[in-house]
Structure 1
Amino acid sequence: MAKYLAQIIVMGAQVVGRAFARALQQEFAASQAAAQARNSAGQHSAAASSIAGMGLQEAQQILNITTLTPEEIQKNYEHLFKVNDKAVGGSFYVQSKVFRAKERLDEELSIQTQDKQQSQKET
């Protein structure tokens, strides 16, 4: 009786182990595919985010911008930079965040321009 019970326990552990290994392989393959898709879609943008220390969405929120146009970026930047000048009672920290946001958005614009030029060369 104990022999059969031990065999059942061993077989059950083998089945659970195989199922766990298969699920782990599938999860690893799915994460690799997702990472590859993210890498090809936003490789330059991610690099710009890590350099600036600020994501694109955060930069857009700071400068209150919905569309990436150089005119709108410059207009909002100038306004927010002047309003937060320490000489008029503003905050140097906020002013620096505004400056970094503009840098990040300018970098994104240059990345988009490069991508457009590359796609035009390919066609």
Structure 2
Amino acid sequence: MAAKILANLIIMGSGILARSLVQAYRQALQNASKTGVAQETIQNTVRRGSKTMVEQEARQVLGVTESSSWEEILQKYDTLFERNAKNGSFYLQSKVHKAKKCLEAVYQGKGQGPG
């Protein structure tokens, strides 16, 4: 009987805590909007939650510079992708693939990449 009461108290308490955290977050956003910080906070949250890679990170992953040609990027991609396929690092292999896709979009925008 005591365990059931304790379990109910824990469940009710966590529900109250969750509601109060949401309310506090909303209040913080309202306060931040008065100073213009809210938009920046939202953008940072979206950026962090996004699974897309930015150009600078993609260049770091592949080890290329802004002056690298598309052919150089493909060579680096092929080398790193195959190396990670052999060593069994799926995480690194997926980072390499995402980096190539990111730079592919950049180079297509410049008219230099794949057609």
User: TM-score by structure 2 length?
Assistant: 0.50
The corresponding residue for 1:54 is 53
Return the letter of the residue paired with 1:71. E
Count of aligned positions: 69
Superposed structure 1 runs of 4+ greater than 3 Å apart: none
Given candidates 67, 74, 90, the residue that maps to 1:92 is: 90
Gapped runs of 5+ residues in structure 1?
Answer: 1-26, 29-50, 115-123
The corresponding residue for 2:69 is 69
Per-residue CA deviations over 1:14-71 (Å, capped at 9, x if unaligned) read xxxxxxxxxxxxx98xxxxxxxxxxxxxxxxxxxxxx861100000000000124111
How far the C-alpha of 1:112 sits from its partner, in A, is: 1.2
Within 1, Cα distance between the matches of 2:51 and 2:72? 20
The corresponding residue for 1:106 is 104
Is 2:50 the counterpart of 1:81?
A: no
Return the letter of the residue paired with 1:58. E
Within 2, Cα distance between the matches of 1:73 and 1:52? 21
Within 1, Cα distance between the matches of 2:51 and 2:99? 8
How far the C-alpha of 1:77 sits from its partner, in A, is: 0.2
User: TM-score by structure 1 length?
Assistant: 0.47
The corresponding residue for 1:13 is none
Return the letter of the residue paired with 1:84. N
How far the C-alpha of 1:92 sits from its partner, in A, is: 0.3
Root-mean-square deviation (CA), in Å? 3.0
Return the letter of the residue paired with 2:83. V
- Larger-Rg structure: 1
Give aligned-pair identity as a percent. 41
Q: Compare relative contact order (CA 8 Å, sep 6+) and give the higher one, 1 or 2.
A: 1
Gapped runs of 5+ residues in structure 2?
Answer: 1-34, 37-49
Within 2, Cα distance between the matches of 1:69 and 1:57? 15
